[in-house]
Structure 1
Amino acid sequence: MKKLLCALTLAFSVISAAFATPPATFSEAKVVAKQKIYLDQANSALGELYCGCKWTWVGKSGGRIDPESCGYQTRKQQNRAERTEWEHIVPAWTLGNQRQCWKSGGRENCVDKDPVFRAMEANLFNLYPSVGEVNGDRSNFNYGMASGVAPQYGQCTTRVDFNQRAAEPRDEVKGLVARTTFYMFDRYKLNMSRQQQQLLMAWDKQHPVSAWEKERNRRIAAVMGHSNPFVTGERHWTQGYKPVGDGVVSNIAASPARAASQATLASAGTSGLIIGNQKSHVYHLASGCPGYAQVSAKNQVTFASEVEAQAAGYRKAGNCK
């Protein structure tokens, strides 16, 4: 019986991964993150990433911060202090700076020309709602110790050392940001300094995986098709760890579910994928839609079927015949 249950669990995991469809762009990822990962977390005890503030959802993926819920006080940027923003736990600059596309034209060039960067930028494991002002202050700084910095945001214990270009998150999320960083560097084969490794390994040990982190991992895995192995315990980061890089190839290729759908379309004689515009959330068919070839590369999202496009919140262009 035990062997049968294990086999069924494994089979279910394989099937779930096969039918998972990760978001293709950062804009799409923010909407998916709200709907499938954090929708019920706006009033949770943990709150947003850096200060533990509660928030109210606004629009497709935005939020309005409740400063009284966390004792937040604005440091300088009132507009950003009032809203949530989607923080890349590993900054987009860090992700892109180790790729040729960034050196050739920065983030916009990477979004246009590098499918691996687009996958990194849209990776749900790396996204978390945060107070916009702290997100802006953190900028592209590495996580580090800021013990000599006085409180900057009222009762919020996250601190940013602008001189040393380092950000120290509150204790409640230090383990989560460490294991997320390990995952991103491992999956996309990035280089991490010895000092950074030592600090994050210490946080990983001092702050074990929480019940919410396990649940977050489960929710994201249902969309991405895989778990964070540093949360599940399948992998452990040690000094000198050699990143695997399993996302460098797998995130470029079509997911098994999408590949199967494409094969079905091909056998049915339907040519071309459906192209969606991630700004307007309108999709175009290869046949009968004048705008099919007019969507700019950086705004394109492809779907294997109209059902898939509509499930992602897209609607057919009005000028399709």
Structure 2
Amino acid sequence: MNLYHIFIVLIIVSHSAMTHAVNIRQALTIKALKGHRPLGYKAARRVLFGKIYLQKTSQGSYIQDIYCQIHFTKKDGVGPFKIPDHTKLNTEHAWPKARFSKKSSYSTQKTDLFHLFPTANQANSYRGDLHFGEVKQVKNYIPNCPLSNQGKSVFTPPENIKGDLARALFYFSIRYNIPITNLEEAHLRNWHLLDPVDDFERVKNDLVEKYQGNRNPFIDHPEIVNKLKDF
């Protein structure tokens, strides 16, 4: 086989691989879209705080925020289907609103439960719209929040939530057809492996389906991440 034929074969193989990747992405988008019934922002927060993340004990109910892992209780406005005091416990959009797709409904993206998380108000402000990544040099220490770090251009969350956030962003990228930057994606892929899907995520997936109508394919089938070359 001469060089020309080798070149042609390589082009065909490359095209086939690209087509396969595109087909997988399209199939995942369809799966992420299937059944999606957007909620209003108030309704979404009631489900987020008052159902998905609400923990019940003999001492009462509480919510543990994801960045500082502080417990918020009844005195903070926590309870079944209640929205807590926003000056204490806030709604984190894992995919920052500043980077929402202009081709999709802003409201639908804002209320999508798969990328909403409960966070201590101050930590939420420190994260802002920073990309996720591993902070090499801390820019600001977050008061009463030693488990998370703010760097100049990235934000590092606690180890036990890294995989959850990675899969939330994978979902958002696929659902709304928005690319993830190469550097952030590299960190997210690593976090996805280091912090695999757990029972809480599976329960959240089921609850989101109950209230919002759709599922996160990367929670149902985490192995699919390896089949996508990039997001």
State TM-score, norm by structure 1: 0.53
Task: Indicate yes or no: 2:99 matched with 1:94.
Answer: yes
- C-alpha displacement of 1:26: 2.2
2:91–2:118 contact (8 Å) kept in structure 1: yes
Q: Secondary structure at the match of 1:85?
A: strand
In the alignment, the residues of structure 2 paired with residue 147 and residue 128 of structure 1 have an alpha-carbon distance, to the nearest angstrom, of 25
Mapping of residues 120-269 of structure 1, within 5 Å? 120-149=109-138, 151-154=141-144, 156-161=146-151, 164-233=152-221, 236-238=224-226, 240-241=229-230
Shift of 1:165: 2.2
Tell which deviates more after alignment, 178-187 or 139-148.
139-148
Q: 2:124 is matched by which residue type in structure 1?
A: N
* 1:50–1:179 CA distance, 2 compared to 1 (3 A): same
**CA offsets 1:105-149 (integer angstroms, 9 cap, x no match):** xxxxxxxxx6x2211111011111100001011111111111322
- Matches of 2:159 and 2:223 in 1, distance apart? 23
The corresponding residue for 1:5 is none
Displacement of 1:151: 4.7
Q: Distance in 2 between matches of 1:199 and 1:155?
A: 21
Task: Report the Cα distance in structure 2 between the residues aligned to 1:53 and 1:199, rounded to whole angstroms.
Answer: 25
TM-superposed CA distance for 1:171, in Å, is 0.4
Whether 1:61 and 2:83 are equivalent positions in the alignment is yes
Confirm or deny: 8 A CA contact 2:149 2:156 kept in the other structure: yes
Contact 2:218–2:224 under 8 Å retained in 1: yes
Q: State the Cα distance separating 1:63 from its structure 2 match.
A: 4.2
Aligned-partner Cα distance in 2 for 1:51–1:85: 12
Structure 2 spans left out of the alignment, 5+ residues: 1-33
Give the number of aligned pairs: 187
SS in 2 for 1:221: helix
1:43 aligns with 2:62: yes
SS of the residue 2:177 aligns to: coil
Alpha-carbon distance in structure 2 between the residues aligned to 1:155 and 1:93: 24
- Aligned position for 1:119: 108
Fraction of identical pairs, as percent: 22
RMSD: 2.5
* SS in structure 1 of the partner of residue 118 of structure 2: strand
Cα distance in structure 2, aligned partners of 1:195 and 1:213:
25
SS at match of 1:187: helix
**2:69 alignment counterpart:** 52
Determine which structure has the larger helix proportion and give its number.
Answer: 2
The residue identity in structure 2 corresponding to 1:99 is K
- Which 4+ stretches in 1 moved above 4 angstroms? none
Alignment of 1:304-315 (within 5 A): none
Aligned AA (2:47): V
The one-letter amino acid of 2:49's match is K
Q: Which has the larger radius of gyration?
A: 1
